Chain A
């Protein structure tokens, strides 16, 4: 995209800023400081977005429940996250006497570290990837899967039945949904032919008649995106898949025994994980940092990336405000009997899309396969059990 130089400058503003800063340093340490600056930027920006999303969540959920939401701290309650932060920092940090101190301490730290590692490969704008890795997607999933370990560390070390039950649920759930999450992303890798997230975005950053080539606008991409969203929601323990912390039955699940700043770290980990998986979803299916219309190409690429991430967060909040929590068996059935078969079929569909050539036929065939499969799966898997008046066979 060629435009006046100020457009490019706005697009690359952060990179130019970094180059300007490290320009003052001796050449030998420039690269190291540059990377450090990027890391610091990530560690500052995403907790900031975390604060914004917590506020959005509290206000949004309130509105969905016909309440006002927090409105005391600052105008319209916009400083509520600050108050929350100060509160959790000043609270007493309790460690149960019988808990395994070291593991209990390490669990939240590990969670936050692992969650932030995922950002290393996310392209947040044109040339704005911290580590442009060839196997970026693989790295992302390796890091994403490590959060299970932290959850189980928390649950096991607390020596509390609710923590342990919550952690076991969490591990069962996260491992079950890890599979469809990976499988739905593999379709994207198959079409793009690369595991590099940068290349995946580049492949989507093309326009026909002013419309982008985002994968969500293909039958397999749409199905993949929906399945990815379901799996991502479960992966981040968000409602309606928030069983690991189901407060109605498990107090607070795996972080029952955490208070003060460690609790805040879990909270941070959860939201930063949400932001990161939203970023991955946007990168894989929604064209990453590319503009939704060709004529909007002059808007800086990072605005599109962060806009898409925040939009996904709003959808997360909307879903949370709407759906009740599932039961554990429903959750597992849903993962293994519905989502996983559909993701496998979606892989096949993506392959078909690739080999049917550039015609209208592939649109019809691929859409039909997915629609029929969805209809059949819904019919078979979610057959309404006819529950009539109860009859007592042995009672007289």
Chain B
């Protein structure tokens, strides 16, 4: 009969209306500033820089390879390479970012910077209460504001962080083994030839980064042409 569906619908909304006064579990919303739900693990909004250890400046994983800067679709990342080198978390001498700015008013949360980073140095954060009264400076985060510890990363994305840690540990073991083998080989060989393979072995992890930068540099050149 015509109108039956309308009556059914009216009954349904009436049930909701009355039910929401009777049972609190019907209410699907939470009262936000007082009540909060923990964000789901896949939540992401803006990138942050991961550091190991306690000191953000020393432990920063970023080596200023600028891949993320070049890959960023809205171009919200700005990096200035350092002129000097300093030991990274593993104790190796690396270039570090003298400046690393992300304009989160431009960032579109695409996560491409995270995908391309060969050093697991940039990850997505879940912090969303970023409102500020200064729409230019306040939304331009510098490297100090962007740096967050690995523990923070473990807290917000536990699965991903565990994977990353496992991968980094594996790489470290490999690099150590290689270095060890190289050192042994070097020891076996003559003292003059020993320096060369050792440097090669130590530079291996940095290589994809170098090639990445080259490719990125080429593409930007291509675009310019």
Binary contact readout B71-98 vs A (1 if CB under 8 angstroms, 0 otherwise): 0000000000000000000000000000
B residues less than 8 Å from A374 (CB atoms): 2
Other-chain contact of A67, B9, B19, B29 (Cβ < 8 Å): B29
Compute how far the CA of A68 lies from the CA of B34 in the bound complex, rounded to whole angstroms. Answer: 15
Known: A322-B6, A323-B6. A64 touches B1 (CB 8 A): no
B27 is an interface residue with CB less than 8 A from chain A = yes
Docked-complex contact A323 and B27, CB < 8 angstroms: no
Contact B14 A67 (CB under 8 A): no
Is B20's CB within 8 Å of the partner chain A?
yes
Contact of B16 among A66, A319, A323 (CB under 8 A): A66
Contacts of B2 in A (CB 8 A): 374, 377-378, 382
Which residue of B has the minimal Cβ distance to A324? B9
Contact between chains at A64 and B13 (CB < 8 Å): yes
Q: How far is the CA of A65 from the CA of B20 in the complex (A)?
A: 9
With A374-B2, A378-B1, A378-B2: A322-B13 Cβ-Cβ less than 8 Å? yes
Q: Which residues of B contact A323 (CB under 8 A)?
A: 6, 9
**With A63-B21, A66-B20, A378-B1 in contact, is A321–B27 under 8 Å at CB?**
no
Cα distance, A375 to B3, chains bound together (Å): 11
Residue B12 interfacial (CB < 8 Å): yes
Whether, in the assembled complex, B133 has its beta carbon less than 8 Å from a beta carbon of chain A, the answer is: no
Q: With A66-B27, A67-B27, A382-B2 as given contacts, are A318 and B10 in contact (CB-CB < 8 Å)?
A: yes
The reply on B17 being an interface residue by CB < 8 A is yes
Residues from chain B with a CB closer than 8 A to the CB of A60 are: 17
Identify which of B3, B19, B29 contacts A68 (C-beta below 8 A): B29
Please name all residues of chain B whose beta carbon is closer than 8 Å to the beta carbon of A66 when the two chains form the complex. Answer: 16, 19-20, 26-29
Q: Once the chains are docked, how many angstroms separate the CA of A375 from the CA of B2?
A: 8
Decide: A318 and B28 in contact? CB cutoff 8 A. no
Q: Which residues of A contact B27 (CB under 8 A)?
A: 66-68
Specify which chain B residues have a CB less than 8 angstroms from the CB of A377 in the assembled complex. Answer: 2
Instruction: Output the residue of A64, A375, A382 with the most chain B CB within 10 A.
Output: A64
Asked if B20 and A318 make an inter-chain contact with CB atoms under 8 angstroms apart, the answer reads: no
Q: List B contacts of A378 (CB < 8 A).
A: 1-3
Among B3, B17, B29, B31, contact of A64 (Cβ-Cβ < 8 Å): B17
Residues of B1-42 contacting chain A, CB below 8 A: 1-3, 6, 9-10, 12-14, 16-17, 19-21, 26-29, 31
From B2, B17, B19, B28, residue with most partner A Cβ within 10 Å: B17
Closest to B23 in A: A66
Cβ of A319 and Cβ of B20 under 8 Å apart?
Answer: no
Check if A322 sits within 8 Å of B29, measured CB to CB: no
Residues of A within 8 A of B20 (CB): 63, 66-68
Beta-carbon nearest neighbor of A60 in chain B: B17
Chain B, residue nearest A381 (CB): B2
Complex: chain A residue closest to B30, CB-CB? A68
B59 to chain A, nearest CB (A): 43
Instruction: Identify B17's interface contact among A63, A68, A382, CB under 8 A.
Output: A63
How far apart are the CA atoms of A65 and B27 in the complex, in Å?
A: 8
| Distance A64 CA – B16 CA, assembled complex (angstroms) | 5
Contacts of B3 in A (CB 8 A): 378
Chain A 316-344 near chain B by CB (<8 Å), digits 1 or 0: 00110111000000000000000000000
How far does the alpha carbon of A370 sit from the alpha carbon of B21 in the complex, in Å? 39
| Cα(A106)–Cα(B14), bound, Å | 40
CA A323 to CA B11, docked complex, whole Å = 12
In the bound complex, residues from chain B placing their C-beta under 8 Å from that of A71 are 31
Q: Known: A318-B13, A322-B12, A322-B13. Contact between A67 and B6, CB under 8 A? A: no
Interchain CA distance A374-B4 in the complex, whole Å: 13
Give bound CA distance, A374 to B13, whole Å.
26
Interface of chain A residues 195 through 251 with chain B (CB within 8 A) = none
Q: Which residue of A lies closest to B9 (CB)?
A: A322
| B14 pairs with A318, CB closer than 8 A | yes
Closest CB in chain B relative to A68 CB, distance in Å? 6
CB distance from B136 to the nearest CB of A (A): 22
For residues 369 through 394 of chain A, which have their beta carbon under 8 Å from a beta carbon of chain B?
374-375, 377-378, 382
Assembly CA distance A374 to B26 (angstroms): 38
B123 to chain A, nearest CB (A): 34
For chain A, residues 52 to 76, give those with C-beta under 8 angstroms from any C-beta of chain B: 60, 63-68, 71
Knowing that A63-B16, A322-B12, A378-B3 are A-B contacts, what are 15 other residue pairs whose CB atoms are under 8 Å apart, sorted by A's residue number?
A: A64-B13, A66-B16, A66-B19, A67-B20, A68-B20, A68-B27, A68-B31, A318-B10, A318-B13, A318-B14, A322-B6, A322-B13, A375-B1, A377-B2, A382-B2
28 contacts between A and B (CB under 8 A): A60-B17, A63-B17, A63-B21, A64-B13, A65-B16, A66-B16, A66-B20, A66-B27, A66-B29, A67-B20, A67-B27, A68-B20, A71-B31, A318-B10, A318-B14, A318-B17, A319-B10, A321-B17, A322-B6, A322-B9, A322-B10, A323-B6, A374-B2, A375-B1, A377-B2, A378-B2, A378-B3, A382-B2
Closest 6 CB pairs of A and B: A378-B2, A64-B13, A322-B9, A322-B13, A63-B17, A63-B20
